Structure 1
């Protein structure tokens, strides 16, 4: 009997105690991240040992005694928020809160909260909450997967591949012309005018914060994308001040001990003589020799110096991240080139040996000034110099000559010297509590040249080499330069409504103006006949002033056979201009956590 009375008393006490409590629930959002949910924030009752953390969706639930209380929301690096409330027994009350980041000083220690978008967890959370179908890979994931540059990173994304011999990636089978590349959301031109998109190999993990791949259309993208947009976010300085130096070396087993052909007039650093100094067709005054140099023991090398530092300027901060890198590599290929006619008859069969040297230098500086509440201005400067030297020797049947037993020897020496300068100013301004303005401007310059491309064609007949006299262009020297200036900008207003649906409106403009100019001059050698014997290892013995004076060949330009023509030294040229003005608008509204309309 006593046991029954005790159990009944405990039941009534527990029931009355439970009826004295209410339930507080709600969502905590990140005001600095466009009202995204804030996971793992602390929610507590002031002065009482009642607390909880928000889940991965920013939601929380607390059981609190009936009465008046103060609810405290906190997160490291954020301003805490206090909300007084009154609750009755059995009542369920919804209290939401938005937190914004701040700096908190505790005994000379400043704790600042920033979202590290190099980490996989932060990028996955952004991808989960994003409206557009975007896949991102950060510096942390790149390191884990053993990739060192943007090209290796994007190939880890589903639907993106890189084919051997192709410079750029394919997205869902679509190549260079169907994709676009941006840096911090602004257009990024290619360093090579032969391609629309820049080579992603230049963007190492020292430069990249993360890379986003957007395979769908969106209002902020230009309308020339059918495959995907690849957006490279440049790295900003975070953490402790540092300076790092890295050195690497390697060998290509195909080239390390090979007698390697090099182009005269080029050097290890890739500094080329860009211009022709020939202005008189009676003078053979080319600076570079047609005879290649030779070297052995080719080593691939790499050098990188990186550093970062932050300066406190009153309540504001200035951070900088600097990168300087140089890499070079040697490669060798050999094979056979074949060509058949419409009837299947063999027209060309040439064995070739190709010697290639590439060297690239990269300089990157990121300077970011943070001031006031959620305001910042950043300067990104990037310089890329890419120099490729390609010397190829071909020998075999070409089918172009009248003599059936003739064979042909072709030597091609080509240098592509490309320079890209990228300068960006990125400004973020908090106008009101709900209204933000992003203003970004980029000025890009491309300076490329093909200095003294040399092409020589000789007939192998009766055991000797002879000049090909069928065409003056069979022995050619070619000089070309291209300059491009690209100005791009955008301004986007973002208004966030104070509602549970996370409604926001983006509206703004995109502008772009590109100007390109190209010039090329060609020098040809018109041989009188094919009787002159040539030593292919000593072409300077034939291509010189003496042969020109003796009438062995005549020096011509691509426009005229003699310099008496007023067009003789006029270069081939073209100018081009591209202008884009575009407005953009986007409305995002979340009906439920699983349904968002944009």
Structure 2
């Protein structure tokens, strides 16, 4: 049909061709349409990746980009070692040593040579209250290493950190629940060789009551019958068994969005010491005024220390960049100790026992 027409040709990889033609009546028109290649330059390539927080490379990246002096021990490093708790693991960090508790177990962190009372302990960045009524630091041995994603030791402070740690800060970051069901348990038993040579002195723990000032206030006057006596009757035991138990369990639900992980570390330890305490005074009788021993005390300690750390973690992942988590930690410590002392007074060459 005669008239005016616009012809468009599109083909992948070529520029669009467009031409206007007038078609006369009773005449054939032949069109030769030459298509030109369309080349496009690549402007940018964006690659996104997610770092595994448990890996060694992630720990080194955190140290490199930290605003303070920071050392990070990854879960991957703890898995390669035989460490069963956080105290065992943290001693592998430079400038960190471990102070042992009265049971000779690794327990408290010494950072840059400053004793534990100058350091604080965090869980996921939140300060932890000490179960000890005397000190504000807590034992790191009651947190199982299986529950830790990483351990961060900050040796200098930044404005957002707690201000009561001039030595350093130990931040224990808990794991999120794995995408598969996870269960791990460990147990060990042993004896203190000290009690192969002597008995362990025990008493009725339930007979011990709180001091009257803690129960009723400093103005309370306790009557003579307030204090108990059954706890003063010692019983002898043959080498009681020291036991260590621990387990970790975790899994995810709701298409891996909701996860939980729970771990418990139970330590029931029996230990003791044999020691001698001597008192000296100036010898005035002989006239040489040299110190002589005036009193000898042989002491035998028997101690039972019970630690229990129960940790739970719950998290819900909205997506790869957003999540909400809840952590709850129960820390319990109990120490029962007996001391048997035999004093010998040496006066004028005579001994009275």
Superposition TM-score, scaled by structure 1 size: 0.45
Max radius of gyration: which structure?
Answer: 2
1:33-432 → structure 2 map (5 Å cutoff) = 67-69=39-41, 84-85=42-43, 95=44, 97=46, 99=48, 115-164=51-100, 168-256=108-196, 258-266=198-206, 274=210, 281=223, 283=225, 286=228, 288-312=230-254, 317-339=257-279, 345=291, 349-372=296-319, 374-397=321-344
* C-alpha displacement of 1:341: 6.8
| CA root-mean-square deviation | 3.3
* Structure 1 residues 68 and 207, CA gap change in structure 2 (3 angstroms): same
Contact 1:257 1:297 in 2 (8 A): no
1-side partners of 2:81 and 2:279: how far apart?
42
Contact 2:143 2:265 in 1 (8 A): no
Other-structure match for 1:565:
none
* C-alpha displacement of 1:320: 0.3
2-side partners of 1:121 and 1:256: how far apart?
49
Deviations, residues 62-108 of structure 1 (Å, cap 9, x unaligned): xxxx9425xxxxxxxxxxxxxx53xxxxxxxxx463637xxxxxxxx
2-side partners of 1:347 and 1:172: how far apart?
42
Deviations, residues 511-562 of structure 1 (Å, cap 9, x unaligned): xxxxxxxxxxxxxxxxxxxxxxxxxxxxxxxxxxxxxxxxxxxxxxxxxxxx
Gaps of 5+ in 1: 1-46, 48-65, 70-83, 86-94, 101-112, 408-460, 464-598
Other-structure match for 2:9:
none
Relative contact order higher in (CA < 8 Å, ≥ 6 apart): 2
Secondary structure of the residue that 1:289 maps to in structure 2? helix
2-side partners of 1:121 and 1:310: how far apart?
26
* Structure 1 residues 205 and 394, CA gap change in structure 2 (3 angstroms): same
* Structure 1 residues 382 and 398, CA gap change in structure 2 (3 angstroms): farther
Superposition TM-score, scaled by structure 2 size: 0.73
Contact 1:265 1:273 in 2 (8 A): no
